[in-house]
Chain A
Amino acid sequence: MAAASSSDSDSGRADSSEASSKWLDAHYDPMANIHTFSSCLALADLHGDGEYKLVVGDLGPSGQHPRLKVLKGPTVLTESPLPALPAAAATFLMEQHEPRTPALALASGPCVYVYKNLKPYFKFTLPQLPPNPLEQDLWNQVKEDRIDPLTLKEMLEGIREKAEVPLSVQSLRFLQLELSEMESFVSQHKSKSIKRQTVITTMTTLKKNLADEDAVSCLVLGTENKELLVLDPEAFTILAKMSLPSVPVFLEVSGQFDVEFRLAAACRNGNIYILRRDSKRPKYCIELSAQPVGLVRVHKVLVVGSNQDTLHGFTHKGKKLWTVQMPAAILTMNLLEQRSRSLQAVMAGLANGEVHIYHDKALLNVIRTPDVVTSLCFGRYGREDNTLIMTTRGGGLIIKILKRTAVFVEARGEAGPPPAQAMKLSVPRKTRLYVDQTLREREAGTAMHRTFQTDLYLLRLRAARAYVQALESSLNPVSVTAREPLKLHAVVQGLGPTFKLTLHLQNTSTARPILGLLVCFLYNEVLYALPRAFFKVPLLVPGLNYPLETFVESLSDKGISDIIKVLVLREGQSAPLLSAHINMPVSEGLEAA
C-alpha cells in the first residue's frame, strides 16, 4: 500500500504541475459553511435564464439545521431551512411545456420536496407500509379491552420472533416498557392506528421516454425497506416498484423508463444489484466483500469505489474488468463529463486531500486541495461548461474551471520503475580493524581455532563438574531421582524479628504418592530459633503443592542475617534428596520485648 501510494503520488506530482495549467481556480472559500455529500449537490438552470445555479442540500455543521442553499457564482442566492436532513437532491424536467425550467427535488425523511422556480411546489410522501395484520388485530382487541397488557406483550413478542413483517414503533416501544408503565401506555395509545413508515435513502433521475439532454425524467427513490420506486414526473404516482435484498445506498441509472433501462444499486450489504426494466428482482449481483463508497457509470462501465481503498470497474452484467488501488480512503465519487471532448471520467475525493480523476484504469489528473474533499460535482455552472465544485470537510467550497484548452492525456503507459529502485543500498561499511582481523585470521586461523576449542572444552568440563557436584550433594531444589521426583521452593514472609518460612513441596511424579519424607533445617542457633528444626512430611499426593509453614525467630539485634539450609530427607537415608539455601532477610522489626 505504501508502495502504491509512493508510485501514484509520483505520477501525481508530475501531473499536478501540469494541473496548474488545466484548472483555473475560480473560487475558494474555506468558511462557506457547506457540509454535504455528493448526492446532495445538483447543478441546474433553475430560472431558465441560461445561468446555471448550484443547489446544495446542506446538512449543517453537525447534522443540525439542515438548509437548502442555492448558489449563483460564489454567492448564496437563497437559503431556506429544511424540516429534516436531506438525503439527496436532484433536478429534473417535469413536463414538456415551455419554459423548460427544471424542477428541484429534495429527498428528506419519508418525503420528496419538489420545488419549481425555487418555490415549494409539491410534497410527495412515501406510502405507509402495511402493518402486520396480527399486530393490527392485537391492538384492536386492546382497544376493545379484550386483552390485558401482559398478554399483549407476550403476543407481540411472539410476532416479533417469527413474523416476516416487522412490528410498528408503537409495539416495539411497548415491549420495552416496565410492567408498571404498560397500563398508561396502552390507554394513551390504544386508540391510535398503528403505522409503519419508511424513509428515502437515495434518489436519482431516469429519463421517461426520450434520451435527449432535456427530456422529461422520472425520480427513482431507494427506500429503507429495501425497495426501489420510480415516480411519475407529473402526477407523482408510483410507476414501478422493485425490491432489493438490502437497503440501497447509491443508485446509477441508464436508459429510459418507457423503453429499457438498467438500474444499479449499491447496497448496505456490500453488494451491487443490477436490475432491468422488466425485472422485479435483481438480475445480476456484484459481491464486493467491502462496502461501496461510490458508484458511477462511465459509458457502459460501472465504477465502484470500495472502502478498502480500491476502485473497481465492472461490466453492466457484473463482470469485473479492473481494479485500481488508491493511495488513501475514498470519501466520495462523481462523474466528470466533458461534452466538448466527449470525455467521461470518474472523480474520487480521497482522504489524503487529493482528488484523483480516472479514465478507466488510467489516472488522468490529480488535484490537491487544501482540505479533504467530501463532495464533488462537475458540470455547467453559471455560464461556464466545465466547472468542478468541491466542498470540504471543514465546510469550505472550492470552485475550479477546466481550461478550454485543457486536454486530459492518460499517463504515459507504464508507470516505469518505482522511485525506490534508484536509491542506493545502505550496505554497512567495514572498518580497517575488521580488515586487519581478517588478515590475522587468515594467517593464524588454525591456532585461533585450536585455542578456542581448548578453552571451550575446558569451560564445558568445568560446567559439567559443577553440575555433577551439585547433583551429588543434592544442592539443587529439584530432585530427579526416579523414586522421589520432588520440587521445593521456599518463601520468607515478614519484617522480623519473627518470620514465616513457607516451604512449597511438590511431588512431580505422575501417579505415585511419596511417603516417609523428613524435613530438616540447618541454621546458626545463635542467630535464629525455630520451633521445630526437624519434622515429618505428610504423604505427598502427585501434582499437589504442599505448603509447609514454620516460624523463624531472629535472635540477633545487630542486623545480621544468615542462611538457613533446608534438607529434604528420606527416612533411613543420610544423604538428602534435595536441599535449598534460604537467604534470610535482615530483621527490620523492633525486638519483641
Chain B
Amino acid sequence: MESPRCLMPSFAKRTQFPASAESQKPRLKKAQEFPILEKQNWLIHLHYIRKDYEACKAVIKEQLQETQGLCEYAIYVQALIFRLEGNIQESLELFQTCAVLSPQCADNLKQVARSLFLLGKHKAAIEVYNEAAKLNQKDWEICHNLGVCYIYLKQFDKAHDQLHNALHLNRHDLTYIMLGKIHLLQGDLDKAIEIYKKAVEFSPENTELLTTLGLLYLQLGIYQKAFEHLGNALTYDPTNYKAILAAGSMMQTHGDFDVALTKYRVVACAVPESPPLWNNIGMCFFGKKKYVAAISCLKRANYLAPFDWKILYNLGLVHLTMQQYASAFHFVSAAINLQPKMGELFMLLAVALTNLEDPENARKAYAEAARLDRCNPLVNLNYAVLLYNQGERKGALAQFQEMEKKVRLLKDSPSLEFDAEMVEMAQKLGAALQVGEALVWTKPVKDTKSKHRSASASKAASLQQPLGSNQALGQAMSSAAAYRKLPSGAGGIAQPTKPSLPLEPEPTAGAQPTEAPAQIRETQE
C-alpha cells in the first residue's frame, strides 16, 4: 500500500476540493489552531443513517476541506456511500485510505474486505478478513463473512467452521441461513433442517427462516410440520410469496382449490409474472374442472417460463383431458425434451399416441416409461391395458405382475391411499387376465369421486372406445398425484432438486380422475 500522502491527492481530486489552495492558508497565520478532526463526525453519521446522502456528502466535503482530507470517518462514510451507489472500486480505494490513516482499526479492514468481496475477489477478501481478525478476535461479522467467502470458493469445510465460530460469538439469522445453504449445497437436507430449526428457535418471527424450513419439510414429505411452519410464516407476513405458494400447493394436494385460489390472489397481485404461480392457479382450475381457464393459466405460465417441463407436463395433462390429443402430444414431447428421465412423461405420451391411433409408438413409449419408472404402478397398469387391448395377454400379464410388485412395495408407506379408480381398473384387468384375485388392495379405498363419475358417465358411454385407449387413461394416470409424493422409495422420480425455492406443487396436484369406470364396464361386458 502506498503512503497516505500519495493517496490523499487522488481523493482530493475525486471530491473536487482545491486542496492546494486551501493548504496555503493555515500556515500564513502564525498561531493557527488545528481544527478538531472529528468535529462533525456525529453529523455525518446522523445524515448517513437517515439515508440523507446528499446532505451527508455536503458535510463530508466541508469536513474534508477543513481537515485537508485527514478526517478518517468522513472518508469512511464517503466510501460507504460510494459503495451504496455501486462505485465499489472507488469505495475500495477510499477504505484503503482509511486503513492507512489508522492501521490499527479492524473496521477499515473489514470494509476493504467487504468491497473486495463485492468485487468478486473472494481470495483477496479472505486475506484481508484474516488481517482484520488479527486485530479483533471476537467479531462475528469477520467470521461470518469469511464463511461466506469460503462458500463462494466452494471450500465448504472451512466455511462451516467459520460460520460456527460466528454463531459461537453471536447468533444472527444471517449466519444460520448461510450455514443452512452450505448443507443444501452439499445436499444434506437433514442437517440443513437441523440448522434452520435452531434458527427458528432463535428468532421465531423471521418469515424467511420459517418459509425455508417449511419448504425443506415439504421436500422431505413431512407435511404436518411443513404446513405448521408455512402457516407461522403467513401469520407474521400474510403476503409472503414463497410461503403462500408452498401452502397453496399443499392445499391443492388436499383438494382445497378455492382456498388455494384465494391465497394465490395475494401473490398474483404482488408477483404477477411468476410462472409457478400461474401453473398452480391453472391446476386449481383444472381441479375445479374449469379446463379452459386452466389452459389459459398454464399457457401464461408456459409463456413466462418456456423451459419448465412441469408446466408442459400439466399442459399435456389438461389437453389429454380435453381430448385434444394432438396438442397434448406436442406439450408432452416438449416436456420430454427438457426432462428425458421421467417415466410418467412417457406414459402420458403413450396415452396421447394411443388416442392418436399410433399403437406402435405408444408401445415404445410405454416400454420406455416402464424402463424409467420405479414406483408408479400406473405406468405398468396402463401398459398392461394397452397390451391387453392389442391381444397380447402374455405381455399384459407381465406388466400386471410388475404393477402388483410395485403396489406391494408401496403398501408399506402409511400416508398412501390408492386411487379408487386405479384399483377398480386393476381389478377388472386382473379378472380379464384371469389372474387370481390378488389381495394387494387391502387398504380401504375412499370413494369420494362417485359424483363426478355418474355425471360424466353418459358422455363417456357415447364414445364407445376400447378399454384404456382413450382419455380414461389420461385421467387415470392423474391419480399418480398421490404417488408422486411418496416419501419412501420415490427414487425413480426424485424431485428435481431446484436450488431456487419455492418449489412448485406437484404437477398433477389438481388432477381428478373422472369417467373411467363407465368405460371399463362397457369393455368388460
| In the complex, residue of chain B having the shortest beta-carbon distance to the beta carbon of A322 | B205
Q: Is A421 touching B265 in the complex (CB atoms < 8 A)?
A: yes
Inter-subunit contact A351/B51 (CB<8 Å)? yes
Query: B189 on the interface (CB 8 Å rule)?
Result: no
Residues of A near B355 (CB, < 8 A) are 445-446
A185 within 8 A of B: yes
- CB pair A331–B50 under 8 Å, yes or no, is yes
Which of A2, A63, A322, A418 contacts B238 (CB under 8 A)? A418
- Least distance between A401 CB and chain B CB atoms (Å): 27
Are B238 and A7 in contact, with the CB atoms below 8 A? yes
Chain A residues with a Cβ closer than 8 Å to the other chain, count: 85
Residues of chain B within 8 A (CB-CB) of A409 are none
Cross-chain contact of A438 among B45, B104, B324 (Cβ < 8 A): B324
Nearest chain A residue, comparing its CB with the CB of B330: A452
Query: CA–CA, A192 to B30, complex, Å?
Result: 11
Candidates B238, B300, B325; contact of A449 at CB < 8 Å? B325
Task: Name the A residues within 8 Å of B102 (CB-CB).
Answer: 160, 166
A442 within 8 A of B: yes
Question: CB distance B70 to A452 under 8 Å?
Answer: no
- A197's contact among B36, B141, B170, by CB below 8 Å, is which? B36
Which chain A residues border B67 with CB–CB below 8 Å? 169
Closest CB in chain B relative to A508 CB, distance in Å: 29
Bound: A492/B161 CA distance, A:
60
| Interchain CB contact under 8 A, B266 and A420 | yes
Is A417 close to B, CB under 8 A?
A: yes
For A193-215 the 0/1 string (1 means CB < 8 A from B) is 00101111110000000000000
Residues of the A chain whose Cβ atoms lie less than 8 Å from the Cβ of B414: none
A84 and B40 CA atoms in complex are apart in Å by 10
Q: Are B324 and A430 in contact (CB under 8 A)?
A: no
For B59, the closest partner residue in chain A by CB is A63
Known A175-B4, A445-B324; contact A320-B268, beta-carbon cutoff 8 A:
no
A164 partner residues in chain B, CB cutoff 8 A? 104
Q: Which residue of B lies closest to A169 (CB)?
A: B34
Is A97 close to B, CB under 8 A?
A: no
Let me know if B270 and A3 touch, CB within 8 A: yes
Residue among B31, B49, B203, B265 with max Cβ neighbours from chain A (10 Å) = B49
Contact of A224 among B38, B59, B357 (CB under 8 A): B38
Interchain CB contact under 8 A, A202 and B49? no
Given the known interface contacts A320-B203, A452-B326, the answer about A201 and B42 at a Cβ–Cβ threshold of 8 Å is yes
Is B323 touching A442 in the complex (CB atoms < 8 A)? Answer: yes
Instruction: Indicate whether B496 reaches chain A with its CB closer than 8 angstroms.
Output: no
Query: In the complex the two chains form, is B238's CB within 8 Å of A176's CB?
Result: no
Asked whether B263 is an interface residue with its Cβ less than 8 Å from the other chain, the reply is yes
Question: With A429-B296, A449-B325 given, is the CB distance from A2 to B270 under 8 Å?
Answer: yes
Partner of B356, one of A84, A175, A442, A449: A449
Say whether A345 faces chain B, with CB atoms less than 8 Å apart: no
Decide: B329 and A420 in contact? CB cutoff 8 A.
Answer: no
Tell me, yes or no, whether B172 is within 8 Å of chain A by CB.
yes
User: B103 and A425: CB pair below 8 A?
Assistant: no
Stretch at the interface among A41-49, A288-296, A462-470: A288-296
User: Residue-by-residue, is B1-45 near A (CB-CB < 8 Å gives 1, otherwise 0)?
Assistant: 001110010000000000000000001001100111111111101
Contact A421 B263 (CB under 8 A): yes
The answer to whether A425 touches B68 (Cβ under 8 A) is no
Are A175 and B239 interface neighbours, CB within 8 A?
A: no
The reply on B327 being an interface residue by CB < 8 A is yes
A85–B47 Cα gap in the complex (Å)? 14
B300 in contact with A109 (CB, 8 Å): no
Write out, one digit per residue, whether chain A residues 34-66 have a CB within 8 A of any chain B CB (1) or not (0).
000100000000000000000000010011000
Contacts of A7 in B (CB 8 A): 238-239
Chain B proximity mask over A118-158: 1 for CB below 8 Å, otherwise 0? 00000000000000000000000000000000000000010
Contact of A173 among B68, B103, B266 (CB under 8 A): B68
Shortest distance between the CB of B143 and any CB in chain A (Å) = 12
B51→A188 contact, CB < 8 A: no
When distances are taken between beta carbons in the complex, the residues of chain A under 8 Å from B36 are 109-110, 169, 197-199
Q: Is B313 interfacial (CB-CB < 8 Å)?
A: no
Q: Is B262 in contact with chain A by the CB < 8 A criterion?
A: yes
Among A62, A170, A415, A424, point to the contact of B58 (Cβ < 8 A): A62
Closest residue of chain B to A197, judged by CB? B36
Known contacts A169-B34, A172-B70, A201-B42; decide if A442 and B324 are in contact (CB<8 Å).
Answer: yes
- The reply to whether A446 and B356 form a contact with Cβ atoms under 8 Å apart is yes
- Docked Cα-Cα span, A454 to B144, in Å, equals 61
Asked if B398 lies at the interface with its beta carbon under 8 angstroms from chain A, I say no
Which chain B residues lie closer than 8 Å to A199 at the CB level?
36, 38-39, 41-42
**Which residue of the partner chain, among B41, B45, B205, B270, contacts A420 with CB atoms under 8 Å?**
B270
The answer to whether A224 and B266 have CB atoms under 8 Å apart is: no
B90 interface residue, CB < 8 Å from A? Answer: no
A399 within 8 Å of B (CB atoms): no
Q: Is the CB of B326 within 8 A of A445?
A: yes
A41 to chain B, nearest CB (A): 14
**Which B residues between 215 and 238 are near A, CB-CB below 8 angstroms?**
237-238
Which residue among B4, B38, B237, B293 has the maximum number of chain A CB atoms within 10 Å of its CB? B38
Q: Residues of B at under 8 Å CB distance from A?
A: 3-5, 8, 27, 30-31, 34-43, 45-46, 48-51, 55, 58-59, 62, 67-70, 102-104, 107, 140-141, 170, 172, 174, 203, 205-206, 237-240, 261-266, 268-270, 281, 285, 292-293, 295-297, 299-300, 322-327, 329, 355-358
The 7 A-B residue pairs whose C-beta atoms are closest, nearest first, are A3-B239, A420-B269, A169-B34, A201-B42, A449-B326, A224-B38, A428-B296
19 contacts between A and B (CB under 8 A): A3-B238, A6-B239, A109-B39, A169-B34, A172-B70, A184-B27, A198-B38, A201-B42, A224-B42, A247-B41, A291-B48, A323-B206, A329-B51, A424-B265, A425-B265, A428-B297, A438-B322, A445-B326, A446-B355
On A, residues with C-beta under 8 Å from B are 2-4, 6-7, 37, 59, 62-63, 84-85, 87, 109-110, 157, 160-164, 166, 168-170, 172-173, 175-176, 181, 184-185, 188, 192, 195, 197-202, 224, 247, 249, 268-269, 285, 287, 289, 291-293, 307, 320, 322-323, 325, 329, 331-332, 351, 374, 415, 417-418, 420-430, 435, 438, 441-442, 445-446, 448-450, 452
